[in-house]
Structure 1
Amino acid sequence: RRSGELCLVACPRSARHVIEEETMASPRVGGLSQELKPADATVQEICDKVRSDVEKKLGQNFAEFTPVNYRTQVVNGTNYFVKVRVGSDQYVHVRTHKSIQGDVTLAAVQDNKSLNDEVEHFA
């Protein structure tokens, strides 16, 4: 095959369907996931690791620090954009980075959020 030539492989219709489904279900590298997911044990663990950094950055100690929902962004590791309940009707949005090696760091935080505020990309 010469450089620049397109190589086509014949495959049964069912195999193409599986490939198309997998491609559509996989998150785009660099893109924020469209699906807002409910927080799970993994997200709770990530939030526990950055809680003291969030409190220090905002100058507050929270009685509660419960993740509600989140979105992810696949980069060199994974960015987690998490809505965290920090009190009665009080929320913050936390952006963390989990490296490929598993190290978790706080990237950014937004305070004065409500339950209805959309979890979006922020720097």
Structure 2
Amino acid sequence: MATQLVGGLTEPAAVTEEIQAIVQFLKPLVLERLNKPLHVYHAISYRSQLVAGMNYFIKVVIGDADDYIHMRVFQPLPGSGEKVSLSDIQMGKKLFDVIEYF
């Protein structure tokens, strides 16, 4: 993971097994929000933001063409008893769209 300042976003990074597992865990919520079947669904890059836990901003391919979403995910601090949650989704993204805070 890249060096980061508290509150700032890291540079984009390749997806780790942990990030892909989070994306898979949240798939039912994504399906519900998008209200369409997803024939392709995997993360390709992400940025993170250290807060009272961790925000992840994840680019996910959801279609065969240039069809992507950006997910904002919150992972609480260990020991908090809370689960990872889907905070927001940006639709209509393309491969070369920069992942930014939203």
TM-score by length of 1: 0.74
The structure whose RCO (Cα within 8 Å, separation 6+) is larger is 2
Note the alpha carbon deviations across 1:68-116, whole angstroms, 9 max, x for none: 0000000111000000001112100001001113721000001111001
> Shift in Å at residue 51 of structure 1?
1.1
Query: Residue in 2 aligned with 1:108?
Result: 88
- What's the % identity of the aligned pairs? 34
Query: Residue in 1 aligned with 2:55?
Result: 79
**Counterpart mapping for 1:1-123 below 5 A:** 26-33=3-10, 35-88=11-64, 89-101=66-78, 103-122=83-102
In the aligned structure 2, how far is the partner of 1:43 from the partner of 1:103? 14
SS at match of 1:106: strand
Unaligned runs of 5+ in 2: none
Unaligned runs of 5+ in 1: 1-24
- Which has the greater radius of gyration? 1
Shift >3 Å, 4+ stretches = none
TM-score by length of 2: 0.89
SS at match of 1:69: strand
